[in-house]
Chain A
Amino acid sequence: MSKARTSPVRSAAAHAILITYTVVALFPVLVIIINSFKERRAIFRSPLSLPNAESFSLIGYDTVLAQGDFLLYFQNSLIVTVMSITGVLLFGAMAAFALAEYRFRGNPLMALYLALGIMIPIRLGTVAILQMMVAGGLVNTLTALILVYTAQGLPLAIFILSEFMKQVSDDLKNAGRMDGLSEYRIFFRLVLPLVRPAMATVAVFTMIPIWNDLWFPLILAPAESTKTITLGAQVFIGQFVTNWNAVLAALSLAILPVLILYLIFSRQLIRGITSGAVK
């Protein structure tokens, strides 16, 4: 192996850069979590200090949890995110398989059309989407959000997955056909398990924007019963007074589910991201 790769100076430099980036990325999150455990005055007096015996307070969490609807918001967010990811992965993988596996007229055009969405932000179509949802009677339903997020996630999913699926051995698929497996069995049993790392990558990249989104919940589903957690946390931000304890506590809690989902996917994710490089 080349010496350059293992030279201590280089690896120290690489680690320094990575650690710096990690600190920069985690700092805001950490500040939010720290301050969510402090009382209001302490938050403003010294936002960077850790909570001590005097400043420690759970008032934020009390407020949030006492606000009865908070669990519902949580549940809404989870439903929307999980359903959307499921939709994106299922339909994205199916479309990707069709594009990667079958020769039909217009295949390249179709691929281009489906990939176009990567470059065009879905928010540009908000007005039309709202009109559609009104016409379909879907305003203030979670279904509206799930549909929009599935559409939003599909282009990138199809793009990434079809590249991976092209690499699955033709012989393997053909062996399945010789043994009489249906195209669905070939897709679900042979191809999908082999592109699992790519699926995890897509899942994580789709999940985070959906969980964090404020725009579509505000426009399509602002009703009390369909609020998502990001939108729900806004109730503590008032025009005149903002309940910072509650806002910070709500945000801290909101991190948890994404973190858990991420941990579930992360092992596969790392393999997916590095699979191109290490081979």
Chain B
Amino acid sequence: MGSLRLENIRKSFGKVEVLKGIDLEVKDGEFVIFVGPSGCGKSTLLRVIAGLEDATSGNVLIDGEAVDHVPPAKRGIAMVFQSYALYPHLNVRDNMGLGLKQAGRPKAEIGERVAVASKMLGLDKYLDRRPAELSGGQRQRVAIGRAIVRSPKLFLFDEPLSNLDAALRVNTRLEIAKLHRELSATMIYVTHDQVEAMTLADRIAILNEGRIEQVGTPMELYNRPANLFVAGFIGSPKMNFIPAATLRDGGASTVGIRPEHITVDAQEGRWKGTVLHAEHLGADTILYLDTEQAGFLTVRLFGEHRFGTDDVLYATPQPERIYRFDDDGKAIA
């Protein structure tokens, strides 16, 4: 109960086409994450799924049924917003219960469901407070609680963690992962943080300028990016792109190699270069090299290394980890 199907969704605001034909299938119980650069249409797509925005053309199907003319509250969907969007005049209990109350459920049932959700999220102590009397993290938990209480077929999250500080973000991320396991509900989640995407998702859909560039499990996207955009978007630091001509590699236009798939050696190797800058992070060392054969390269080494600026090094890519892209940016298998 909770599969979603998008068929050729298009959305224009006036003359500007924001979504340019989105097709996607989400299975029951799946956790799918939309990532993409700012302004690529993630929130718009989420609003179309929720019914808060009408698609210009295309269909949204939930459990196989077209819901294009069903109002948001009747679609069996709950949404968690980036700005929490709690009702300022209601306390936590009523914030969580309002949806059920509107649906005409009996008081006892509402009270029970609110109690379950607030226990799950550790909100018991705050039930009588107004949103203004809560911290950011607590507010976000109330917003999540408001979604849980309605026991929807489908959860939508629009960048739910982006207003939280780093420590809280990790905690809430774990909580959402736990929630997904416990409720085994279908979830769609928007973020532009790729760590969030890689750690939470069953599958990731990468959006760019209103199109889905690729859909796949995190490891599929990492290991077999379909094109330059995906290759550059997934992985941090970003994949190195080298014009194929400088490497005399016929048949490709661009060659890509991830920073973690390059080894360095002080004596010998394929590309000779000097260190422009070194970042020592403890677990990792990131080197920025200027090489004679391949131009600028980012290299990620595991553990601590003693390299510093102006050292001369030889970098060698792992041959089986080299990606090749054609003139259109498509990956060459």
Contacts and interface: CB of A to CB of B under 8 A. Distances in A.
B81 A174 contact: yes
B89 interface: yes
B85 A174 contact: yes
Interface in B70-127: 71-74, 77-79, 81-89, 98-99, 102-103
A181 B83 contact: no
A253 interface: no
A189 B79 CA distance: 20
B79 A172 contact: no
Contacts of B86: 175
A180 interface: yes
B77 A179 contact: no
B170 interface: no
B195 interface: no
A172 B82 CA distance: 10
Given A174-B81, A175-B79, A181 B88 contact: no
A172 B85 contact: yes
B89 A178 contact: no
Given A190-B87, A193-B88, A193-B89, A179 B81 contact: no
B87 A178 contact: no
A10 interface: no
A52 B73 CA distance: 72
Which size bracket describes the interface of B in this complex? 20 to 34
A144 B83 CA distance: 47
Given A178-B73, A180-B102, A171 B81 contact: yes
Nearest to B77: A178
Given A174-B52, A174-B79, A181 B85 contact: no
Contacts of A174: 47, 50, 52, 72, 79, 81, 85
A177 interface: yes
A171 B158 CA distance: 10
Interface string A179-200: 1110000000110011000000
Interface string B12-54: 0000000000000000000000000000000000010010100
B72 A181 contact: no
Contacts, number: 56
Interface in B129-185: 146
Nearest to B80: A175
Nearest to B81: A171
A169 B103 contact: no
A176 B99 CA distance: 8
A177 B103 CA distance: 12
B85 A169 contact: yes
Nearest to B152: A178
Contacts of B82: 171
Given A174-B47, A174-B52, A174-B79, A179 B85 contact: no
A174 B77 CA distance: 13
A178 to B, nearest CB: 5
Contacts of A171: 81-85
B89 A179 contact: no
B102 A175 contact: no
Interface of A: 169, 171-172, 174-181, 189-190, 193-194
Which are the 10 A-B pairs with shortest beta-carbon distances? Answer: A180-B73, A171-B85, A180-B102, A179-B99, A171-B81, A175-B85, A172-B85, A171-B83, A177-B72, A174-B52
Given A171-B83, A177-B52, A180-B73, 11 more contacts: A171-B84, A172-B83, A172-B85, A175-B85, A175-B86, A175-B146, A178-B50, A178-B72, A178-B78, A180-B71, A189-B87
